[in-house]
Structure 1
């Protein structure tokens, strides 16, 4: 189990316990973290679970595969550390992971 820190665009922080094997998106939805819409339910078919991975965590989280990369093109305000939270799987190695939420999903 890992603790994930979600930081809303206004600075509000949510620290959530996350079971291994779930995605960062699933954990946010199950814990009512605002700012992740997840319109496609985690199928990597939209960009409404877009997050910014804290730079200290980028290598541990990994980088987008080609399919995720193409969906990120639809994300509002994409950055170098942008990821779709549905594609980040929780493991003990991600204990303490911090992700920031964009002001708008889209």
Structure 2
């Protein structure tokens, strides 16, 4: 299990315990974190689970795949640390992960 902190655009924090093997998006949905819409259910077919990965965690969350890069074209305010949370798998190595949510999705 890993503890993940989701920070809404207004600064509201949500700390959740996420099971290994889930995605960061699935952990947010299961814990009713507002701001992660996940319209496609995690199929990397939309950009409604867009998050900003805290700089300290970029290396551990890995590189964006080409499909993820394509979907981020539909996200608002994409930054260098933007990721689709459906593409980040939870593992013990991500214990303490911090992600921030954009002001709006898609």
- TM class by smaller structure: over 0.9
Q: CA offsets per residue over residues 39-98 of structure 1, 9 Å max, x none?
A: 000000000000000000000101100010100111100000000000000000000000
Structure 2 distance, partners of 1:80, 1:42, is 21
Structure 1, unpaired ranges of 5+: none
SS of equivalent to 2:15: strand
Q: Aligned residues, how many?
A: 106
Q: Please name the residue that 1:46 is paired with.
A: 46
Q: Please name the residue that 1:32 is paired with.
A: 32
Q: Please name the residue that 2:90 is paired with.
A: 90
Q: Please name the residue that 1:17 is paired with.
A: 17
Structure 2 distance, partners of 1:61, 1:95, is 11
TM-score (norm 1): 0.99
CA RMSD in angstroms comes to 0.3
